[in-house]
Structure 1
Amino acid sequence: MTDRRTLWGIGCGVIAGALWGLVFLTPELAAGFTPLQLSAGRYVAYGVIAAVLIAPRWKQVCRQVDAKGWFALIRLSLLGNILYYICLAQAVQSGGVAMTTLIIGLLPVSVAVLGRHDNGSVPLQRLALPLALGIAGIVCTVWGNVGGTSGSLFSVVCAFGALIAWTLYAVDNSRWLSRLDTVSSQDWSLLTGLVTGALALSLAVPAFLLSPGTHSGAQWGGFAGLMAGVALLCSVIGNAFWNRAARLLPLTLMGQMILFETLFALLYGFLWEGRWPNLMEVTAIALLCASVLTCAVAHRRHGSA
């Protein structure tokens, strides 16, 4: 049963990573819009979709969340959605997809370290090999995609800001999901969307009225469609798969699942650029995959010990 839960959890983590990898391309696809506009647009759309989906069961779900739960949803929405995406979008637009992806690729390390005392987690000494492989893969990614160039200090700070925000979100969200036995993973994701949408409305006025830009009607239409698509695929569906994985896997293994976001982000970047990965990039992908597999083996052995 434990092995089956682990496999299902890893599968959900892979799907979430495949969907979340799309967010790294979005700032490039909407390069004429500011990070604040991207965050406000994405999460207002997320809130609208979440409201429609949860409306039939609103009274039932609402009764299952107490005041502490609502405050947690506000904190998680700010950290894991609005602040994270503003930092990510700014880092991508000023420093590039590769630089941003490789820094945020440190998430498995940061989550494993922060969640090392949680129930079911594996001691850090058992994670030495997977963490070393993950770091080696990130080093290869830096070498292969950045080479001798570097982004501006501001873009690096923004990327690390996104890293810190999502590390705190991943740990806090997993802990809350482990406490809540009356709220499903899907409903928790939709509630997060509702709260995030409400917070994003406060960003909409400064984002779109104070910095309207000079966009045509077609560009605004494309922006609206892109935000709706990202909200549905990445926020609604991606978060639902992630929350399901969080209930099936211990926190340190959840941290390793974030590597799939990095892998898929790189894959989408290669497709966008219309090229095959070079030898260094293939090596990085192999190391990152080996990191996830060895981490899964470490958890399996720990569970049977």
Structure 2
Amino acid sequence: MSAHEKNLGIGITAGISTGIFWGIPFLVPQLLPQFSSLEIAFGRFAFFGIISIFFIQKVLRIVKSLSLKDRLLLLLLSASGFWFYSMLLFWGVHQTDGIIASLIIGLLPISIPLFSPGRKSGGWKFYLGLLTLLIGLLNLLAYPLLASTKIVKATSSAGVCALLICLALWTWFAVSNSRFLRRNPHINRKDFASVIGVVSFVSILPVFLWQVEISELIHREGFRLYLICSMALGFGASWLANWLWNICSFHCPSEIAGPLIVSETIFGLLYSFIFENRYPHVYEIVSILLFLLGVALAVTAQMKEHQKKETD
């Protein structure tokens, strides 16, 4: 095996491992129905913030180096990509389920390049992929309501709207974050993750203290599980996942790294079906297959467009 193949294998393994941890946020709200989305989000960023504090000197140095405009943008980035996004995501999962949430957030490999500046049309294959994704999502959301079967379950339209807002927020975060880092090349991506962790914790802390009675939270049934899940979210789904994704991005070209984001959706779905202790219904299998086909078509079109752009 050549060194290139070995490095590529390391990158792909890291990318898939990232999905293992990124799938956790779709499961945790289902494990903690008695805890609010704010409480779950705070637990996540409390642990993420604690880990990031070990790098506080770098964090302070980076923040001091930023202009006032970039500091304000940093607050928006931490909200749209981390603490507020997480609150809304957890609430959306509470209102729907991890399956619907996984597929809606799984549109990120399409929405990010779609709204990236300077994007060229990916041709008919890209738009066919978008249409396939839309049909898959509509099937997932509409079939239980239209079919006169026992599989009908309450799906909150407000929850679906919240998840769509999450999709929009993280799409904006991804595009704006790339622009922010290009404008500040002195910031290392690994260090920036610590900056975001600290800023997110500082941002959500006053909201948490305002809305939550801490003594009641500590004595609530299931608090030990809450701590375990918070650690899994803060260390696993945030800090460790970011570290693994940096390895993936370093060893894999964007044409390979991009599609690996789908592993988040796959593990989110897997965790949800395991939690519900069932196999997917036929309409869910159809929706998932349409989703994977749509992503494959759209991402392939983007890859070809990217390769063409590099050769021109």
CA 1:141–1:238: 2 relative to 1, 3 Å: farther
* Deviations 1:143-188, CA, capped at 9 Å, x for gaps: 6777755523332332222222222212212332344433222111
Q: What's 1:187 paired with?
A: 191
- Output aligned runs, 1:100-139, within 5 Å: 100-115=101-116, 117-118=118-119, 123=122, 125=124, 127-139=126-138
Query: Which structure 2 segments of 5+ residues have no match?
Result: 148-152
How far apart are residue 221 of structure 1 and its match? 2.8
How far apart are residue 235 of structure 1 and its match? 1.2
CA 1:14–1:197: 2 relative to 1, 3 Å: same
Contact 1:263 1:285 in 2 (8 A): no
Larger Rg: 2
Distance 1:38 1:204 in 2: 10
Q: Secondary structure at the match of 2:82?
A: helix
Contact 2:14 2:244 in 1 (8 A): yes
Q: What's 1:34 paired with?
A: 36
Query: Which structure 1 segments of 5+ residues have no match?
Result: none
Q: What's 2:27 paired with?
A: 25
Distance 2:69 2:252 in 1: 24
- Output aligned runs, 1:69-148, within 5 Å: 69-115=70-116, 117-118=118-119, 123=122, 125=124, 127-142=126-141, 148=147
Report percent identity of matched pairs.
24
Q: Is it true that 1:288 corresponds to 2:291 in the alignment? A: yes
* Deviations 1:38-69, CA, capped at 9 Å, x for gaps: 122211221111112x2464566556645444
Q: Secondary structure at the match of 1:276?
A: coil
Q: Is it true that 1:208 corresponds to 2:212 in the alignment? A: yes
Q: What's 2:270 paired with?
A: 267
Contact 1:171 1:251 in 2 (8 A): no
How far apart are residue 193 of structure 1 and its match? 0.5
Distance 1:49 1:111 in 2: 28
Distance 1:90 1:166 in 2: 16
Q: Is it true that 1:50 corresponds to 2:49 in the alignment? A: no
TM-score, normalised to structure 2's length? Answer: 0.77
How far apart are residue 284 of structure 1 and its match? 3.6
Which letter maps to 1:25? L
* Deviations 1:94-152, CA, capped at 9 Å, x for gaps: 2332333333334344333312525xx66465522433343344345446777755523
Distance 1:73 1:247 in 2: 24
Q: What's 2:222 paired with?
A: 219
Contact 1:115 1:251 in 2 (8 A): no
